[in-house]
Structures are given as structure tokens and as C-alpha cells.
A = this chain, B = another copy of it.
Amino acid sequence: MTNVQRKGSLLSFRPDIKVLDATLRDGGLCNNFQFSDEFAKALYAMNVEAGVDYMEMGYKASKALFDPSKFGKYKFCDEKDLQAIVGENKSDMKLAVMADVGRTDFRKDIGEKKDSVLDMVRVACYINEIPRAIEMIEYCHKKGYETCANVMAVSKASEEEIADALAMLGQSPVDVIYLVDSYGSLYPEQVAKLTLRYLEYGEKYKKVIGVHAHNNQQLAFGNTIEAASWGASMLDMTVNGIGRGAGNCSSELLLGFLKNPKFRIEPVLRFISEYMLPLREAGVVWGYDVPYLLTGRLNMHPSSAIAFIRAGRTDYDAFNGELTEKD
């Protein structure tokens, strides 16, 4: 960290920085993707107004694996459902969708780019699934989409595994490689080191590096701007931080920080008042809470913390004991 420079200063703006709103996708994990059309349309209009570069509409999940009667449409993102929200998307904002390795029928459900309002497919995988991710990336690339690789849970991977993964993705047609802190376990110093490692490969293979943070230790925003300061340039966020468990980097924090005058915080503020507060009042739960800190600092999946909270438990010390016993 002593022989490299941060990119830009706090007062400068880097035109290379792009932001991606993942509200419908990561936020959908909080309510089984049951967003109203009104919510989705208002979110789309808001993101356009706020200068957001990409909006993620949800997942392309397999209908053979997931019952469409149990999830909202953003779990599947059928073309007709997307067009009902965004029309032909006559804006400068691009639209993305996520597809999980092993949970998508991508050959069936992802068609030609020319027939879709989608611009980008984000392929999510664990580090041992990189070859399967690359198969999907090649497929989507040939269909005409921009592509991302979101390699999850790198906090569990060895340096050698990460180097191998980055080299393989570097040689693929993927456009963006994401540093994903799935468990919210990384501290800013670790994010800085990982970002620089990702950028080595990014610079060598001409790939953009992105960051997707979680808020288990109240570091989602801090880690996002830490990664950006070293050169990550595709930044994920969600309105009011909505997302599984402790949630994500909040759009209002990130757009309040970035200096590019095209970004505007005001539409986000209005959207929070009009749509996010009612969502919370309706019982949708997300954001920092002690159980998420406990799984985060132990570098564990948040599922046990989510179950703990859903069960109405508040005996945090006992929960911590259960987590450390298992480990």
C-alpha cells in the first residue's frame, strides 16, 4: 500500500466511475421479489433522473427450480414483464439482470440482445464454478450482451484460487469482474488489497473492476469508496441499502459522495420517502443488526442470522456461541 497511489482525490470526479442500482435484485431477496408495478416504474424513473448508469432488474432464475407462483416476477425477468415496466427503455441508463450458475436455464431464458431491453448479464458464481460461469459468459457475449462475473464469497478463497480465477476470467470475453464481499466480512484494508489484486488482472486483460459490498459491519459504503479510491469503477448500491440481511451500500450515501455532477441525490431522497418507508412499514426487514455483525466478523453466510431474527430471538450472546461452536 506504500508504492501505489489512490485514483483521483476526494474533490475530483472520475468519469470512469459507473454506478449500478441493485434494488430490485438484492432487495428482492427481502420480499421474494414481490414489488408492485408502481414501485418498479417509480424506481426506474428515479434511477434515470438520478444519473444511474445501470439498473439491475432482478434474476433470470430457472422456472424448473423455482415455482413462479411463489416469487415476484423480478425473480425471472421475462421480457414481457420487463417491457411492461420500462417500455423500450428510451433512456441512457442500461439494464442488467443476474443469473446464478446452476440456478438458471440460460440457453432457454436468455435470448438475443436485439430482442431484449436488457443490456448486461451478470453471472454470479462461487470460485469453484468459474468454468461454468465462463460458459455462460461466452454464451451471453455471443448473444450480444455486456457481461459481468460476480465471484461470490472471495473472503473464503485462498490467494492462489483468486489469482487462478482472475486469470481465467481475464482470458474470457467478460467485461466486468466484481469483487463481492458476500458475507460482509471484509475490512477496508482487505478491500484495498483485493481491489489492487483484481486491478492487476483488470489492467492486464482490459477488464473493468466492480465492487459489491454488504453492510454486516456497517462497512458497505466505506468499503465501496475504499475500493473506488484504488480504482474499482463499477459500484453497486441499493436504495436505502435494501438487500439480504444487513443489506448493501446505500444509494443515498454513494450518490451523496460521488462528485460527478450527473449524479443527483434528490430523486433518491424522494423515492425513500414515497416508497421505501412504506415498504418497511409493510414489514420488509433489512439493514444492520447485531446478528449480521456476528456472522460477518466470522466470515459466515448470513442465513443463520436471518433465521435468528425471523425467529424473534434477541439472545445475541447465545447465538454467537452457536456460531463459534459450529466453526
Contacts and interface: CB of A to CB of B under 8 A. Distances in A.
B2 A256 contact: no
Contacts of A260: none
Contacts of A325: none
A223 B187 CA distance: 11
A257 interface: yes
Contact of A189 (B4, B10, B220): B10
Given A2-B2, A3-B2, A6-B1, A317 B273 contact: yes
Contacts of A223: 222
A190 interface: yes
A252 interface: yes
Interface stretch (A25-33, A71-79, A136-144, A263-271): A263-271
A265 B296 CA distance: 14
Contact of A188 (B3, B225, B252): B225
Interface stretch (A97-105, A124-132, A211-219): A211-219
A5 interface: yes
A6 B277 CA distance: 41
A253 interface: yes
A288 B294 CA distance: 19
Contact of A187 (B190, B220, B225, B252): B225
A197 to B, nearest CB: 15
Contacts of A89: none
A6 B1 CA distance: 9
A145 interface: no
A10 to B, nearest CB: 6
* Contact residues on A (Cβ < 8 Å of other chain), bracket: 35 or more
A299 interface: no
Given A2-B5, A297-B257, A270 B222 contact: no
A127 B219 CA distance: 30
Contacts of A320: 265-266, 269
Contacts of A4: 2
Interface string A221-249: 11101100100000000001000000000
Contact of A218 (B253, B265, B294): B253
Interface in A53-94: none
A171 interface: no
Interface string A3-43: 11110001000000000000000000000000000000000
A301 to B, nearest CB: 18
Instruction: Give me the 10 closest cross-chain CB pairs, A-B, nearest first.
Output: A222-B222, A269-B316, A269-B317, A270-B317, A256-B297, A218-B221, A273-B314, A218-B218, A266-B317, A273-B316
